[in-house]
Structure 1
Amino acid sequence: MKVQLNKINQQSQSALKPPFALVTLKSEQQLEAGDDISTWLQLTKYRSQKNYAVFDKERYAFSERIFFKGKQVGNYIEITKNADAELIKSYRQYINNIYQNSTLNWLYYPLLTGDRSEMSFSQKEELQQFGISHLLAISGLHIGLMFSIGFFITRTIMSCLNFMVKPWTQQLNLSQIYALGGFLLAFSYVYLSGFIVSATRALLMLGCYLVIYFYAKQALRWRSILFALVCVLLIDPFSLLNPGLYFSFTAVVIIFWVLSVISFSAIGLVAIIKTLIILQIALFIGLLPLSLYYFNGVSVIGLAVNLVAIPILGFIIMPSLVLFSVMSLLLDVSSLIGVFDYLLQYAYRSLTLLPVEYRWIDTATFSLQWLISSYLTIFIVCFTPWRLMGCFPIAVSFFDYYLQPKPVWQLDVFDVGHGTMVLVSKQGKGFIYDLGPVYFNTYTRINNTLVPYLTSKGIETEVTLISHMDKDHVGGLAHWLQHGYHHTFSLLHPNGPEQGCKAGKYSFYNLMITVHEPAEYLQTENDNSCVVHISDGTFSVLLPGDISAKREAQLLARQNGLKSTVLLSPHHGSNTSSSDLFIKAVSPEVVIHSTAYKGQWQLPHRQVVARFADHNVLQYTTAAHGQINIAFYQHEYTINLARYDESYWFLKD
């Protein structure tokens, strides 16, 4: 579970910015969110796998101040209840009780509480495809809505009590009172959501805007943005690592800019609709580079859906949910909620009738260079008189991309812990060697590593080969098949991956792939691994699976197809493999050990490391270096290491 560390070695930690840890605890008492726990923990630095072009868990953990992993030492544990947590828990239970019989309870509950833990993955994915997942993340939109509701409630109450409060309100600015009422409701909303990061940031922006609105005389909008940004960064400079910061502030800038250039010559429903359409188009265009950079894709129908969804959320859903929640304190409003739920459910079901292919488009990697050049272009076009110069940043990025030399083919060894997952790619086509491990018979690296990487790089997999049926090599098979890759086994596993691979020589876009004959008189699964040699005539790669020294001796006896530029160490660097004679025969310039960080087998074995060192072979391990990419050019190759290329300086140590 995720815990906040209030004391370490009896020393109190920062209450404003406490560190967190993911820990394992032993307790006979039921643990609940918000409990105060005293126990002894053995802490280690938080660390996870590191791969290119996929979700960076280490960076996310750091931005959320999750600095440690830990396990309980001994049996001492003391648990007490926390009053603030009990209030939030009671509120969430209250909301859940009101809407638990509703079909769209999964939508109402997170809107009112900020807790999305009860949503299924498919529901979250569906909202992302429609381009409306931001509607469930408590942010500026929700804080603004709650402020508006509180503002109008306060104004209505003050109007109803006008005859009682008029004598002493004549000296006050009623707008400030209304705004205070709105801010208090927004603050209560953020408090009951548990002060989640996005909500707290939006509340801070609202506070800055209100202060400047009532006390400043010029540059209201832009000054409030700058003040809010400074406050956010003073509180937590590392919020710069959070994509939400860029989305929220960019959205506010876009809204302020649109409102500053639109002339409000007409008033009425048509004018409001026109303004909303212009705002939504501007937000879609302005946030598109961020969406491509962080999510490698964009919702095709997001623009149209948001034109309808945001007004419905702002004028119907949120006010109705707040009203139902308050009325439920005094009355039974289940029938009203039932009618509301039925109508909204009908509208949502109509939306789900849209085919999946029209909802979301996956794109190739959108680099930081393209992100910066896109916003430079937008800035020049929108804020300077030299609009034609807006073509310059895009043109520079375009020529830089196309003039850079491109590799002829590439080898990627993914960081999957103790296991093997390898991709060989050329001309946008992929050859997969092994599918990585499976954990608890459920969790694999297919969904969060391999498939996202293939999508981001625009690689179409044509061939898959399984070296042998050990779980650390074939663990992702079920998930791989779920993604529709059955056909990729037809070339080398015509009878299925369980029956072993088909030996022979194959051409893969002018790469020669040699699958060696199976082992003779060796009964172990490891020694029956499919040994594959891939060559372009100049550079080559040898993938030997988990073979031992016995199978290595058989390969040496055949005296062909072993010499390689790059070797994936047999059996992850185990001392049962990588004999001196085998290393000498392969004569690699580079060896890659696919291993787990501080794994239980402590691989690669120190004697194996020493043997490769004796042959002057460059050694890399996925545990230490993350995903290893080797790009082969016509006359040279380059080695790229994910943990060094994509880690900030404060995360490398």
Structure 2
Amino acid sequence: MLQVRNTYRMDKRLFFLCAGISSCLWWPWLPAVDLWLPLAILCVAGWRTHPAVTAFILGVAWVLCFSHWQLSWLKTTHAVDNSHIITGRVIDVETQQSGASRLIVGLTHLQGQALSPAPRILLSWYGHSSPPEPNDTFSAITRLYPPHSLANPGSFNSARWLLGQGITARGYLTGTLTHDAAQPDIRDRLLARFNQSTHGLTTQGWLRALSFGERNGLTPDDWNMLRALGISHLFAISGLHIGLMAGLGWLAGRLTGHYTAGLLTALVLAAGYAWLAGFGVATQRALLMLVVWLSLLWWGRYWNGRRILLVTMTLLLMVNPWLVLNLGFWMSVLAVAALLLLAGGRGRYRLIRLQLGLGVLLLPLVMVLFGGISWLSVPVNLLLIPLFSLVLIPLLLLGCGLLLLWPAMAVPVFQLLDHVFTGLTGGLHWLAGHFSPWSELPATWQGLVLLLMLLPLLLLLPGARWLALALGMLVVLALWPGPAWQVRVLDVGQGLSVLVTQGDRALLYDTGNRFTSGFNMADGVILPLLSRLGITRLDYLVVSHEDSDHSANRHYLATQMPVVHRWGAWARGMPCRAGQQRQWGRLTLQMLWPVSPGGHRNNDSCVLRITDGQLAVLLTGDIERSAELALVGRQPVLQSQLLLSPHHGSRSSSGTGFIQAVSPEWVVHTAGFANRWGFPAAEVEARYRNAGTRQLVTGREGMIHLVAEGAHWRRIGQGRAGPWYQHLATWRETGRNPVRPLE
């Protein structure tokens, strides 16, 4: 009994230590590093009387010190907002579908000054020559920026992703000053042999992803299929694959008749596969759990699965607390926790029950992270997990082993696998294409699904009757009709996109940019937001003019959802002309400019005024001073409570006469974070300030959301939402996080 109690106490302390480290996910700002001292005093004072609370405080203190240690170079070296000569070693290279590359670099010197600790940075390669390879060292001139992400509901949080990878700055390269190529190591030579042996095979990308963890050969269609069927985990080398290798090693070692030989063989094979896959987060977690478990077996001790999981999490987070920012880490941890929860029971159908239960328990996490669910995920996994575990992975690793011992014999193994994977991937693509198993869920429905899944557990709590009543009220509030109409000015970097909605009806003005890397604002911002809002079609898609930061995604969006009316810079659509007027529900759409259709110049931009009779928004595209003057002379009514500043706040626009004619209460500058043009210009800000207009900048604030309330706009949210890692640029400048609008 005493041993059980001590085990429980230790598990409790480990849990609270991990919880303290994980608390940084919700910190609104990064506290000053000096806070570590009072936290340390609290730990010393409370260790005996309140060990769990002390463990939590210790976790908070550790992640606080680690964060300041990793970020200190951004403040002390003036690393950002200036061009520098950098020297570093390439850690990893990711080649994208467009041919562009991204380099993860360990930075050793900045302007000749050695850095400690050596920070990781992410550099986009735009040079005409091939980029440096992993382990190469180089020096180059670049300008670095702190981690920053577009702030829109449903958008990918790149700031969190960067820190979760240990990356504390990003920049771009067009070439190098010096470049010292590294000698290829054993893994590089083995990968080169693999590429040579599989050259010309249709499924080379799939085989390479499953054996070496190199997933650059998979296309966007491949990733969409994996997501649609819920099988991405099969190609992210993790616990399933490491456990399989350990099992094979155990069986092989036991053939010698020695218990220790089985343990060592299991460890060697599992570690070898983790090394082959590049030691990703999931493989680190799985390998560490395996080492702990095998050590206990060798030692003759027994720990339950919960203790092993907690010890593994603690070791990983003590080495790198920022793993809590990595979604892959939580997917791995929660998958193992679900397996431990379901591991009990016996019987013929135990494996099937285990997989079904795992799919159901992970459903909420998948829904929250990816915004939807796949109704085919569980049955497809029931078929594929045994196939991968018992046939495909052993064959693939046999081929990789033969590359070391007898390369010629590896070729027929890979050819056999190519035939299997050709049929398998073809069938999976057909399944995903014909049955469309992936269902995007609006935010409201995600919440309702979570409530329904939690309801059986919540009803077991004391006072469940009142809790059920409270949940019912939440459901009513979630389904209650929203404001009459709303305007969302999206954070699309240096570009423009505005969503106007009334109920489930939507008008989109401009589409943001798309880039040679393959990233585009339609997939990154617009479509996730529309899905989150439950909008399935656009009544109007207005494209102000031809500039790519306004129009680049128009045709792509039209292929992704129905567009009823195409207005503006379209080859086949209704061109903009002053005097056009349309009634759209309770709103009136008034086209004020241009006088004659153009579309190719800034001053040809479509100027659209949307009003309900007492409240109005004026969307101006990129018009400049001459068009503003002509517009003021032609239009008797320009007054609008909300204005999008012409040309992103450029000094060539927003003349005093135009501002007076519009007389806005609010103005939004659609300017990207740290943009090279310096938008909005200081003199433009001064003009609006003198007019008493409240100013907002999307690059600083994120998406601007305003709702109609009578004759005034009410803003939803204040400042850039989110925890401390969303505000690193402001933290670097001031040591504080709040970002206030311009007054």
Aligned position for 2:529:
453
State the distance in 2 between where 1:242 and 1:213 align: 31
Aligned position for 2:680:
604
1:297-446 matches, cutoff 5 A = 297-328=372-403, 329-330=405-406, 332-354=409-431, 355-365=433-443, 386=460, 396=470, 399-400=473-474, 402-403=476-477, 406-440=482-516, 444-446=520-522
State the 1:634 CA deviation.
5.2
1:100 is the counterpart of 2:177 = no
Contact kept, 8 Å, 1:63 with 1:239, in 2: the verdict is: yes
Superposed CA offset, 1:342-377 (max 9, x none) = 244334433333344432111112799779867865
1:505-516 matches, cutoff 5 A = 505-516=581-592
Q: Please tell me the residue identity of whatever aligns with 1:148.
A: G
State the 1:311 CA deviation.
0.4
State the distance in 1 between where 2:469 and 2:361 align: 19
State the 1:223 CA deviation.
0.9
State the distance in 1 between where 2:660 and 2:506 align: 30
Question: In the superposition, relative to structure 1, how do residues 74 and 531 fare at CA in structure 2: closer, same or farther (>3 Å)?
Answer: closer
SS in 1 for 2:214: coil
Q: Please tell me the residue identity of whatever aligns with 2:528.
A: P
Question: In the superposition, relative to structure 1, how do residues 469 and 438 fare at CA in structure 2: closer, same or farther (>3 Å)?
Answer: same
State the distance in 2 between where 1:442 and 1:254 align: 36
Q: Please tell me the residue identity of whatever aligns with 2:476.
A: Y
Aligned position for 2:694:
618
State the distance in 1 between where 2:623 and 2:130 align: 48
State the distance in 1 between where 2:182 and 2:456 align: 52
Question: In the superposition, relative to structure 1, how do residues 300 and 566 fare at CA in structure 2: closer, same or farther (>3 Å)?
Answer: same
Q: Please tell me the residue identity of whatever aligns with 2:487.
A: L
Superposed CA offset, 1:589-621 (max 9, x none) = 110011123333222121111111011111011
State the distance in 2 between where 1:636 and 1:595 align: 24
Question: In the superposition, relative to structure 1, how do residues 68 and 502 fare at CA in structure 2: closer, same or farther (>3 Å)?
Answer: same
SS in 2 for 1:645: coil
Aligned position for 1:162:
none
Contact kept, 8 Å, 2:509 with 2:544, in 1: the verdict is: yes
Flag structure 1 segments of 5+ consecutive residues without an equivalent: 160-168
Aligned position for 2:601:
525
Aligned position for 1:488:
565
State the distance in 1 between where 2:129 and 2:425 align: 43
Cα RMSD of the aligned pairs, angstroms, is 3.4
SS in 2 for 1:307: helix
1:238-257 matches, cutoff 5 A = 238-257=322-341
SS in 1 for 2:426: helix
Q: Please tell me the residue identity of whatever aligns with 1:400.
A: L
Question: In the superposition, relative to structure 1, how do residues 336 and 392 fare at CA in structure 2: closer, same or farther (>3 Å)?
Answer: farther
Contact kept, 8 Å, 1:61 with 1:67, in 2: the verdict is: yes
Q: Please tell me the residue identity of whatever aligns with 2:114.
A: Q
Question: In the superposition, relative to structure 1, how do residues 357 and 225 fare at CA in structure 2: closer, same or farther (>3 Å)?
Answer: same
1:44 is the counterpart of 2:145 = yes
Superposed CA offset, 1:171-211 (max 9, x none) = xxx1x431232122111211222222221122122223334
Aligned position for 1:204:
288
1:2-151 matches, cutoff 5 A = 2-9=103-110, 10-14=113-117, 18-22=119-123, 31-38=132-139, 42-70=143-171, 76-81=177-182, 86-151=185-250
Question: In the superposition, relative to structure 1, how do residues 27 and 292 fare at CA in structure 2: closer, same or farther (>3 Å)?
Answer: closer
Contact kept, 8 Å, 1:572 with 1:604, in 2: the verdict is: yes
Count of residue pairs brought into register by the alignment: 620
Q: Please tell me the residue identity of whatever aligns with 1:450.
A: I
TM-score norm. by structure 2 comes to 0.76
Contact kept, 8 Å, 1:503 with 1:518, in 2: the verdict is: no
Aligned position for 1:154:
253
SS in 2 for 1:310: helix
Contact kept, 8 Å, 1:23 with 1:71, in 2: the verdict is: yes
State the 1:437 CA deviation.
2.9
State the distance in 1 between where 2:467 and 2:321 align: 28
State the 1:81 CA deviation.
1.0
Question: In the superposition, relative to structure 1, how do residues 207 and 549 fare at CA in structure 2: closer, same or farther (>3 Å)?
Answer: same
More off after superposition, 608-617 vs 414-423 = 414-423
State the distance in 2 between where 1:502 and 1:474 align: 20
More off after superposition, 405-414 vs 115-124 = 405-414
Aligned position for 2:353:
278
State the distance in 1 between where 2:713 and 2:410 align: 69
1:645 is the counterpart of 2:729 = no
Question: In the superposition, relative to structure 1, how do residues 478 and 338 fare at CA in structure 2: closer, same or farther (>3 Å)?
Answer: same
Superposed CA offset, 1:279-334 (max 9, x none) = 12111111111111110111221111100000000011111112233245335254
Flag structure 2 segments of 5+ consecutive residues without an equivalent: 1-101, 731-743
Contact kept, 8 Å, 1:533 with 1:561, in 2: the verdict is: no
1:476 to 553, 556, 581: 553
Question: In the superposition, relative to structure 1, how do residues 51 and 216 fare at CA in structure 2: closer, same or farther (>3 Å)?
Answer: farther
State the distance in 1 between where 2:273 and 2:461 align: 43
Aligned position for 1:588:
664
SS in 2 for 1:31: coil
